[in-house]
Structures are given as C-alpha cells and as structure tokens.
Structure 1
Amino acid sequence: MKKVTLLPRVNNDRCKACHTCEKVCPVLAIKVKQRKAVVDADRCRGCANCEQRCLFNAITMTKRDKAFEVGVDVKSVDYKDIIDLCVKAHLHPEQTICYCVGVRAEEVAAAILKGAKTPEEISLETGIRTGCTIECIQPILRLLDAAGYKLEPVEGGWQWYGKTATAWDLSKEVKEKYSSRGFYFEEDRKVLDKIIDGCKKGEDK
C-alpha cells in the first residue's frame, strides 16, 4: 500500500501553460485548461514530479487535509492467475519491481487481471511509478505485454522508456559477441528460470 499525503498546488500567476507537468505525471492527474495547470486531486498520487519539473516554480507540494492509501489486494483474484502472468513475463510474483514504493510484481499482475490496461491505470491503482517513475516502467510493460496488451504512450505521458532486452530476449549474435568477455548469458538465464519456476511448483507460496 502507498500512503498518499501530498497534493500539488498551482500558482496561476507563475503558470505559463508549458504542459511539462502533464508530460511527467504518471497518472495523468494534471492538465492544462484555459492556459493554466489544473490538478485532479482524486487521481493525484503525490509523486511531486510536476513540482520538480516545473520550469517556472509554479507548483508547490502541500500536505493533504486527509491522507489515503492506494493498493491492490492480491487476494482479490485467483493467485494461480497471478503466478501464470508473472511467469509469462519472466518475473517472480514476490519480486519487488518498484523500490521507491515497494510494489511487487504480484500486485501489478493483480491490477492487470482486475482490468488495468495501461501503465497510467496501473500506477493509479497500485502507486507504482510514483517515486523515480523510471525503473519500474520496464516490468510494467513486460507484464502488460504478457497479458496481451500492445501499447503506445498516451498523449501527455513522456515517462515511457521502451523495453530493454532481458536474458530471454538477447539475440544469438549478441550472446556470441560478448560471451568471451566474461558474460554468462545462458547460465544467468538458467538461474533466473529456476527462481521463477519455483513459484509455479508452490515452493514460495
């Protein structure tokens, strides 16, 4: 669970409607309307990206009158389905994939199984990507891809970085080129497969 305690306030005198805040919000909670940034308090997850990136210091994070928690209960869906989705994405269900917030792969999988279809929807439900917003986009995209969703960044969201190659994606040419330089791609993959396959056999749940 992520506890949301902050909310951005916009100084309209300083706001220049540059749209930067829109482009860095992981949950699309801030929009420029009539040439001023407007915050949707219900959607905001208090990450402070808008404040940190504003070129005109027009946004200040303030304490909410009432804090609230966001998160998805993994018990609300069949855990076998969570395991299947995580394994397909080459992730262990109990693996932490967002260190800023502490979200595990199982929670993101549960969010997807409950209907979340984009990184923005997943962030809204779980709080993932409301820290650095960078590292955890990779496993999110892997899980969405494993669920069959083929996505393109939505208008407004710049915090997408294309999937990087994993141990399961490397081409034969890359493996051959670097295997003589101290890289053990096949050995690494076997270890990772063993860890992930363990959850299918009920060794970790």
Structure 2
Amino acid sequence: MRVVNQLAKVDTEKCNGCQTCAKICPVLAIKIVEKKAVVDSEMCRGCANCEQRCPQYAMKMVKREVPFTIYVDPTTVDATQLKALCAKARLNPEQIICYCTTTRAEEVAAAILKGAKSPEEISLQTGIRTGCKVECIQPVLRLLEAAGIEPERPDGYQWYGRTPTIWDIPEEVKKKYSSKGFYFEEDIKLLNQVAEAKTKGKEEK
C-alpha cells in the first residue's frame, strides 16, 4: 500500500533529454519526447527517484492536489491460490517484503493473480519498489517466477535478474562447504518455518 501525494514535474529549460529519469522510473511513467522528459501524471507514484538522480536537476517533486492510495486487497482473490503462490516462492503471505511501503507478500501475490505480469505493473498497483528500490525487487521476481511468469527487463536500471536463494544452492556446493562453518540445512529449516508460520493470535481462515 502507498499513499501517492507527490508528482514529478519537469523543468524543460534544464532538461536535456539524457534519459536518466526514464531509465530509473520503477513504473515506466517517464518517456523522452523530442529530447525532453515527459511524465505521465496518472502513472507517477511520487517515488522521487527521478528527482534524486537527474544530473541536470530538471526534475522536481510537487504536491498533488488530490492524493490517492494504491492497494490490492488480498481478500479479493482466491485464498488457496494466494497461499500456494506465496508458498511456492517460499514467502510467508504476511511477510513484509517492502519496508518503505510496508507491502506484504500477499498483496503482491494478489496483484499477480489479478493479472500483473511484471514488476512495473505490480508497482503501479501496490506501490512496492517506489521507495529505496533496493531489497523488494527480489521477492517480487520470486513471486512472478512462482506464477510461471518471466518478465522482460526494461531498457534501464529499474532491476536486474533474480539472485539465487539458499534453496537454489546445488547439493555438491552444500556438501563441499557444510564442514567449513556453513549451516545450509539448518538455515533452510529456519527459513521454511518463517514461510510457513502463522501470525500469533490470528484466526485460521
């Protein structure tokens, strides 16, 4: 969930069309038209990445006249499918996977079950990746992969490929390093417990 209360504005006098803003926008809301950046105001999620990285200082965040909230309600999709998707991605549905927006795995899973097929579409619907953009891309890619979706990476710096997890480590590597202070099986067991845990005090639905 994210409350969108800012909008990126372009100073066309300063903008030289370098494309930096377009290449880092997490929702692809910026395009270069006739060597000037153009922001789609409906798509912009107010993350300020463009403002922070523009080498010409041509981007500025301004207050929206009418703020709005973006959120995908997990209860609007089939609960069994949602839990199965999260389990396949080895994530707890209630696990916060984006601390900037406090977005949980179940919300991203719901967005995918509703038809989102890329990190950009998921960000538009949930607000995930519109903060620091550092950690949350990996669980997003894991959930997309679990759904059988292989998104095409944009021509920019929005994200790169999925990094391996502990579950991806080959058995021969585990065997080689298990005697050198690496506790692969113990770590996997612990992480599986986290993924399968139920929130304390929450009724089973």
Q: TM-score, normalised by structure 1?
A: 0.93
Aligned to 1:154: 154
The one-letter code matched in structure 2 to 1:38 is V
Counterpart contact for 2:153–2:160, Cα < 8 Å: no
Counterpart contact for 2:16–2:36, Cα < 8 Å: yes
Cα distance in 2 between the residues matched to 1:203 and 1:171: 38
3-state SS in 1 of match to 2:159: coil
Aligned to 1:39: 39
Counterpart contact for 2:2–2:71, Cα < 8 Å: yes
Aligned to 1:30: 30
Q: TM-score, normalised by structure 2?
A: 0.93
Counterpart contact for 1:198–1:204, Cα < 8 Å: no
Equivalent runs, 1:1-205 vs 2, <5 Å: 1-155=1-155, 157-198=156-197
Cα distance in 1 between the residues matched to 2:25 and 2:162: 20
The one-letter code matched in structure 1 to 2:132 is C
Cα distance in 1 between the residues matched to 2:91 and 2:204: 13
The one-letter code matched in structure 2 to 1:111 is A
Gaps of 5+ in 2: none
Structure 1 residue 179 displacement after superposition: 2.1
Cα distance in 1 between the residues matched to 2:204 and 2:20: 43
Gaps of 5+ in 1: none
Structure 1 residue 20 displacement after superposition: 0.5
Cα distance in 1 between the residues matched to 2:170 and 2:161: 17
Cα distance in 2 between the residues matched to 1:128 and 1:189: 26
Structure 1 residue 204 displacement after superposition: 5.9
- After TM superposition, the runs of 4+ consecutive aligned structure 1 residues lying more than 4 A away are 202-205
3-state SS in 2 of match to 1:6: strand
Identity of aligned pairs, percent?
59
Give the root-mean-square deviation of aligned CA atoms: 1.6
Structure 1 residue 19 displacement after superposition: 0.5
